[in-house]
Amino acid sequence: MKVTVINTGSSSIKYAVFDMSSCILLGSGLLERIGAADSRLRHRRLNDAGAFDELVRTRPVAEHREGFDFILSVASELRILSNPDELFGIGHRVVHGGDAYREAVLIDREVIANIKRFAPLAPLHNPANLKGIEVALERSPGVPQVAVFDTAFHQSMPPHSFHYALPRPMYREHHVRRYGFHGNSHGYVAKRAAELLGKPLEAVNLITLHLGNGASAAAIGGGKSLDTSMGMTPLEGLMMGTRCGDLDPALHFYLAKKAGISLDEIEKLLNTESGLKGVCGVNDMREVERLAAANDPDAQLAIDMFCYRIKKYIGAYCAVLGRVDALVFTGGIGENSPIVRERACAGLSALGIAVDEQKNTAVSKNEAEIQADRSPIKILVIPTNEELEIARQTLETIIRAKGMPRESVCS
Ligand code: AMP
């Protein structure tokens, strides 16, 4: 029972093939620089010893259709897929499902029209995601295909949490509201956290922190997203690699009117030149930490700001949830940076949150509990697996649509 997960960007295609009877990743890869003379496919394949072999191929790939054929030929050569119709399903990551989708859906004409309709809310992502869907439908017409939305998990937010304090027509006519993103990551770690806590998902209250190049926090009550830090777009909320996160909206008028910076330039400034990069010149947290350790004051300030803002959201979400069972760190930074985890939780023992220094520094690639003995709230580090979450939702959506039993599926 093989399921492929596809994440199509404007010049890239990321993919993963799972055997869903055992939840095993058979192979994955990334085709980058589509449209350039040196497009590169980096592919990993599970070998018989249970490790991954890597293969890299470079050749010109003019557009996405050719990119798909290239990936399929490599998958077939490596005997991951003998032909695309062998697949039980294909799951497409789609960034914005607006307020139309609370869960994954089988792709049909209406779904395609809706993904197009919401493209103005995610202009960098939805059109590219659609391109992947169109090519995959063309190349594998007999395989059921599912759209899995980054926004869907947060559709459970109540109105007082998702509305902005703007005149009602802004919402009714222009869909201006908070949607939230990283839903597949927050959803995946929430399920894992519930398993680790030994409770049903519906019974747990969690604060999940997805800290990667993009970063967001979520308040999860009874297993459902009640609030999240990203808003109408992924720009709101925590400080990120290159995005500013929360700021005063009046700053836009000030920059436009007083500094003569155009709206397009402001958009670029806030999305690609701000965050860690804006404060200290680099957006890679490993490099920021290295500079800070060498006494670079800008890098030290960047880490202070990054962690302070996480702490503010933790405090806010404790208030939203009332009772918190666990705080969960995930994403490249959340999984790998003891400094960020320690600083984000520092001084929160009055809220029941205290990190054990030794457990925190000992975390290495695996799931771990890092709270101090005196901490009533568990602090978990859970490596995220958005691809597996998308594969699961793909499978569940198809099984439901076909009225099949669920037993043969891994959980
Ligand atoms: P992601 O977007 O989830 O892939 O995460 C990327 C971020 O994780 C980058 O800022 C990396 O610098 C950061 N990261 C990865 N490994 C480490 C590490 N060992 N220590 C600190 N940050 C890390």
pLDDT the model gives residue 406: 72
Q: Closest ligand 1 atom, CA of 288?
A: 12
**Ligand 1: centre distance to CA 334 (Å):** 8
209, 280, 283, 286, best to mutate for ligand 1 pocket (most atoms within 8 Å of CB): 286
Q: Is 173 exposed, middle or buried (0-12, 13-18, 19+ CB in 10 A)?
A: exposed
Ligand 1 near 361 CB (within 6 A): no
Only one residue has tokens 């009714």, namely 172
The token pair that represents 330 in the structure block = 């995930």
Residue 393 is assigned to a structural domain of this protein:
no
Residue 178 is assigned to a structural domain of this protein:
no
Residue 299 is assigned to a structural domain of this protein:
yes
Contact 161, 224 (CB under 8 A): no
Residue 138 predicted with pLDDT over 80: yes
Closest residue (by CA) to atom 19 of ligand 1?
336
d(CA 177, CA 387): 27
The answer on 350 and 274 residing in a single domain is yes
The token pair that represents 154 in the structure block = 């947060």
Asked whether the CA dihedral 401, 402, 407, 409 is positive or negative, the reply is: negative
- CATH code for position 282: 3.30.420.40
The answer on 237 and 134 residing in a single domain is no
Ligand 1 near 216 CB (within 6 A): no
**What's the structural domain count of the chain?**
2
* pLDDT tens digits, 38-89: 899 999 999 889 899 999 999 999 999 999 999 988 888 888 887 777 799 9
Residue 388 is assigned to a structural domain of this protein:
no
Closest residue (by CA) to atom 17 of ligand 1?
336
pLDDT the model gives residue 315: 98
The answer on 206 and 145 residing in a single domain is no
Residue 330 is assigned to a structural domain of this protein:
yes
Residues constituting the chain: 411
Query: Which residues participate in catalysis according to the annotation?
Result: 150
- The range of the structural domain enclosing residue 328 comes to 201-381
The answer on 267 and 377 residing in a single domain is yes
**Ligand 1: centre distance to CA 250 (Å):** 32
Asked whether the CA dihedral 25, 26, 30, 34 is positive or negative, the reply is: negative
Residue 262 is assigned to a structural domain of this protein:
yes
Asked whether the CA dihedral 155, 156, 157, 159 is positive or negative, the reply is: positive
pLDDT the model gives residue 76: 84
Quote the percentage of the chain above a pLDDT of 90. 88
Residue 343 is assigned to a structural domain of this protein:
yes
d(CA 177, CA 164): 6
Both ends of the chain: CA-CA distance in Å? 14
The answer on 207 and 111 residing in a single domain is no
Q: Domain boundary residue among 149, 178, 211?
A: 149
Alpha-carbon Rg for the chain in angstroms:
22
**Ligand 1: centre distance to CA 341 (Å):** 13
**Ligand 1: centre distance to CA 167 (Å):** 39
The answer on 289 and 350 residing in a single domain is yes
* pLDDT tens digits, 215-232: 999 999 999 999 999 999
Ligand 1 near 286 CB (within 6 A): yes
**Ligand 1: centre distance to CA 112 (Å):** 34
The token pair that represents 72 in the structure block = 């399929």
pTM: 0.94
Residue 338 is assigned to a structural domain of this protein:
yes
Ligand 1 near 375 CB (within 6 A): no
* pLDDT tens digits, 199-219: 999 999 999 999 999 999 999
pLDDT the model gives residue 74: 87
